[in-house]
Amino acid sequence: MRAWVKHGDALRFLLARTADPDAAALATELRAVADLARELRLWTVIGSLHPLTPPRRPHLSLYVIGDDGEVATRYDERMLSNTKVSHMYTPGSAPVTFTVDGVRYGCAMGMEAAYPEIFLEYERLDVDCVLFSTHGPGTPVNNGPFALQAQALAAANSYWVSYAGVAQDAPNAPSGLVTPDGDWLTRCPPEPSTTLVTADLVVPVENHARQWRRTARSGLYDQYLAPDDPRATR
């Protein structure tokens, strides 16, 4: 199997011997995506496996491919489900950010919309947009709670959130882009087919809501507390 990572400024290949034809096919397709990204001069984020040294299980990752066709960075899913961590993957350990044309991005995936601390961490890292990619849920039974959570997380942290799901979930949770106010700026049609939407991200020079939340979390209220007031006793 062949996969690639970037160390410093050099892109090098990791070679792992395997008889798995699916792994070889995946590596070929990833290389093709990277080549096309270079040809189109298009930054590309794509989900894949990232192999580790056997017998460790692979990471479940998002490769961030620059417009030069090289991997700029890689995000490894951290908050795995019980099945994933018990039988399938090795969890990641750190947030990842990258900047394109002055816009700072963070990455999240899987079920991490259920963990607000992941997104709050990106707020502290001054991201303008979190790219959240997931395979679900988005069924008629639960009607896409991850999409709803993406809206809430965007509003709570005052940044953009990209919600990218799979085509079969589109009737219940179509992909789209959420504004820092928690509204959908644009969404794919609710049809189970491959669809693309584009939008212009407007990043404010000053984000007053974000600054106030940081001030409020810094101990601002301590001086106003009244623990010794008899009327404050419960």
Q: Are residues 127 and 213 in the same domain?
A: yes
The rounded distance, in Å, linking the Cα atoms of 199 and 30 is: 25
pLDDT of the residue at 33: 92
Q: Are residues 117 and 223 in the same domain?
A: yes
Q: Is the pLDDT of residue 17 over 50?
A: no
Q: Are residues 58 and 86 in the same domain?
A: yes
Q: Is the pLDDT of residue 221 over 60?
A: yes
Q: Are residues 224 and 127 in the same domain?
A: yes
Q: Give the model confidence (pLDDT) of 155-187 as tens digits.
A: 999 999 999 988 888 888 889 999 999 999 999
Domain boundary among the residues 94, 121, 144 is at 94
Q: Are residues 109 and 224 in the same domain?
A: yes
Q: Give the model confidence (pLDDT) of 116-153 as tens digits.
A: 999 999 999 999 999 999 987 656 666 678 999 999 99
What is the pLDDT averaged over residues 86-103? 96
Q: Is the pLDDT of residue 205 over 90?
A: no
Tell me which residue range forms the domain holding 26.
1-94
pLDDT of the residue at 200: 86
Q: Is the pTM of this model over 0.75?
A: yes
Domain boundary among the residues 40, 65, 94 is at 94
Strand pairing report for 160-164 and 176-178: antiparallel
Any idea what the CATH number is for the domain that residue 3 is in? 3.60.110.10
Overall domain count for the chain: 2
Q: Are residues 165 and 192 in the same domain?
A: yes
Q: With contact defined as beta carbons under 8 Å apart, do 164 and 194 qualify?
A: no
Q: Are residues 44 and 122 in the same domain?
A: no
Q: Are residues 116 and 43 in the same domain?
A: no
Q: Are residues 118 and 33 in the same domain?
A: no
Domain boundary among the residues 94, 122, 157 is at 94
Q: Are residues 174 and 108 in the same domain?
A: yes
pLDDT of the residue at 116: 97
Q: How many residues does the chain have?
A: 234
Q: Are residues 144 and 198 in the same domain?
A: yes
What is the pLDDT averaged over residues 64-87? 95
Q: Are residues 13 and 60 in the same domain?
A: yes
Least confidently predicted of 4-8, 17-21, 183-187: 4-8
Provide the percentage of residues in the chain whose pLDDT is more than 90: 60
Q: Is the pLDDT of residue 113 over 50?
A: yes
pLDDT band at 12 (very low <50, low <70, confident <90, very high): very low
